[in-house]
Amino acid sequence: MVAIEEGMCVHQQIIQSGLESDVFVGSSLVDMYAKCGSMENAWGVFNKMPSQNVVTWNARLGGCAVNGHGNEALKHFEQMCEGVQPDYITFICLLSACSHAGLVDEGMHFMLQWSQTK
C-alpha cells in the first residue's frame, strides 16, 4: 500500500514537471502501477499517452503478466501488432503472461512464432 501511495506522489510530480507525455516516463508509470496491482491506473496512464511504442506496449503486456491476465495480454498483443513491431521483450512478456495464466498452448504458439522470426 505504501508503494502505490509513493508512486502516486511521483506521478503527481511528473505531471507538474510536464514529463507525463514522455513515452519512456509514461511506460515507467504503466509498469509501476501494474506492479503495484493498480491495473486501472496503469491503463489510465497508457490511454492518456499521446503515442505508444514497443516499450509502452511491453509495459502493458508485462503488467498483464504479473497480474495473471494472460488472455488480456493476448488481446493487447493483437492490438499492438496493428501498428507496432514486437521485439524479443514482447515475446518474453507474452510467455510470462501465458505462464502465469496457465495458457500452455498459447505460450508454445508464441515460442514457435518467435523462433521462426530469428
* pLDDT (tens digit per residue) in 86-102: 998 998 999 899 888 88
Place 66 in a pLDDT band, splitting at 50, 70 and 90. Answer: very high
pLDDT at residue 117, as a whole number: 66
Residue 57: pLDDT above 80? yes
Three cell numbers at 23? 513515452
Three cell numbers at 78? 493483437
- Cβ atoms of residues 95 and 111 within 8 Å: yes
Domains of the chain: 2-117 (1.25.40.10)
- Cβ atoms of residues 114 and 98 within 8 Å: no
* pLDDT (tens digit per residue) in 23-56: 999 999 999 999 999 999 999 999 999 999 999 9
Beta carbons within 10 angstroms of residue 108's beta carbon: 12
| Entry pTM | 0.86
pLDDT at residue 79, as a whole number: 94
DSSP summary character for residue 68: T
Q: N- to C-terminal Cα distance for the chain?
A: 42
- Cβ atoms of residues 105 and 72 within 8 Å: no
- Cβ atoms of residues 27 and 55 within 8 Å: yes
pLDDT at residue 26, as a whole number: 94
